[in-house]
Amino acid sequence: MNAPKKSAKQHQTHGDDIVLDAENGEEFVSEEGEMSLTALKQKLKKVRDELAATRKESMEHLTGWQRAKADLANFRRIVEEDKERDGARARAKLVRQLIPSLDAFDAAMADQKWAEVDKGWREGMERVAAQFHKALAAEGLDAYGTAGEMFDPTLHECMSMQPTEDEKADHTIAQVLQKGYRIGSEVVRPAKVVVYQHAS
């Protein structure tokens, strides 16, 4: 009696017949095939090596793309920061040119004789001064300097010292001679002040 034939599944690979043994799952080359098992293994190894090389190349391209993307983002950020700094410098330059006019308004309105000026004219000038201040405030200009606050050499310019017996008043501002102005954290002009000094 003849032994039962093994069931086998046949695959076509580049013109060669490769048979898969259904019982043990092993592949072998059919008698009609021209490719030996060793050649097939070598070809499989070559395909795997090519796949690994392709993956490596793809990762290199991906890394390069990510680096270029990060460089572009940094460049745009630097350009934007430079643009903001240039704008702040331009505003500060304009403000420096206008500050003397603000000082003139403040000095005129602080004079005791200001109350003696014609009321209609006085109120008109006060409105002009208020609009002037408002327009510059819209550009970020902030006036500062108040008697009683602590002296800060980064914000104030000490013009003279005034002795005091009050120890708590030491190094506080006794008098503001001229307002200070700043835009954000940048000092456009320091406030000119007289500073209390405790007599020790």
Per-residue confidence band for 156, with pLDDT thresholds at 50, 70 and 90: very high
Per-residue pLDDT, 150: 95
- pTM, rounded to two decimals: 0.55
Cβ(18)–Cβ(10) below 8 Å: yes
Average pLDDT of span 19-23: 46
User: Can you tell me the distance from the alpha carbon of 79 to that of 96, in angstroms, rounded to the nearest whole number?
Assistant: 26
Per-residue pLDDT, 78: 92
User: Can you tell me the distance from the alpha carbon of 110 to that of 99, in angstroms, rounded to the nearest whole number?
Assistant: 16
How do 156-164 and 191-198 pair as beta strands?
parallel
User: Which distant-in-sequence residues (6+ apart) come within 8 Å of 82 by Cβ?
Assistant: none
Q: Identify which of 107, 138, 108 has the alpha carbon closest to the alpha carbon of residue 121.
A: 108
- Domain locations in the chain as residue ranges: 140-200
Average pLDDT of span 118-143: 89
Tens of pLDDT, residue by residue over 56-75, are 888 888 888 989 999 999 99
Was domain 140-200 assigned CATH 2.60.40.10?
no
Q: Is the pLDDT of residue 159 over 90?
A: yes
